Amino acid sequence: SQQGEEDPQALSIQEGENATMNCSYKTSINNLQWYRQNSGRGLVHLILIRSNEREKHSGRLRVTLDTSKKSSSLLITASRAADTASYFCATDQATGANNLFFGTGTRLTVIP
């Protein structure tokens, strides 16, 4: 079964606005990763945050991790139409299962 769930399932914003997506997971993790998917094909890695980190930045992306709440958020600032895609979180479980478990995804639409 999938480890994570993203919220909201779909998000529509105007270009220039910020977009925030949330991910909740169930078990202890080593790290959490965010991926982006265009047009239902291959996923592209965006950012990885380790369990001992609380916040990480990469360009217009900001990721936070709260291990006590088993949740993470992805913030995209100053959104662009090209940011339109589906965004997934993936967790590397600390239980020894050598796997990446993906959430259900958030479909982001940025309106020009």
Partner 1 sequence: GAGVSQSPSNKVTEKGKDVELRCDPISGHTALYWYRQRLGQGLEFLIYFQGNSAPDKSGLPSDRFSAERTGESVSTLTIQRTQQEDSAVYLCASSLLTGRTEAFFGQGTRLTVV
The per-residue b/e assignment along 73-96, b for 16 or more CB within 10 angstroms, e otherwise, is bbebeebeeebbbbbbbbbbbeee
Residue 48 beta carbon to partner 1: minimum distance, rounded to whole angstroms:
6
Give the separation between CA 80 and CA 39, rounded to whole angstroms.
Answer: 17
Q: Which is nearer to partner 1, 18 or 28 (CB)?
A: 28
Asked whether position 59 contacts partner 1 by CB under 8 A, the answer is no
Exactly one of 74, 92, 108, 110 binds partner 1 (CB under 8 A); which one?
92
Q: Does 12 bind partner 1 (CB under 8 A)?
A: no
**Binder among 19, 23, 43, 74 for partner 1 (CB under 8 A):** 43
**CB under 8 Å to 71, separation ≥6 — which residues?**
22, 23, 24, 25, 65
Judged by CB under 8 A, does residue 72 bind partner 1? Answer: no
Angstrom distance (rounded) from CA 18 to CA 20: 7
Q: Which residues bind partner 1 (CB under 8 A)?
A: 2, 30-31, 33, 35, 40-45, 48, 88, 90-93, 97-105
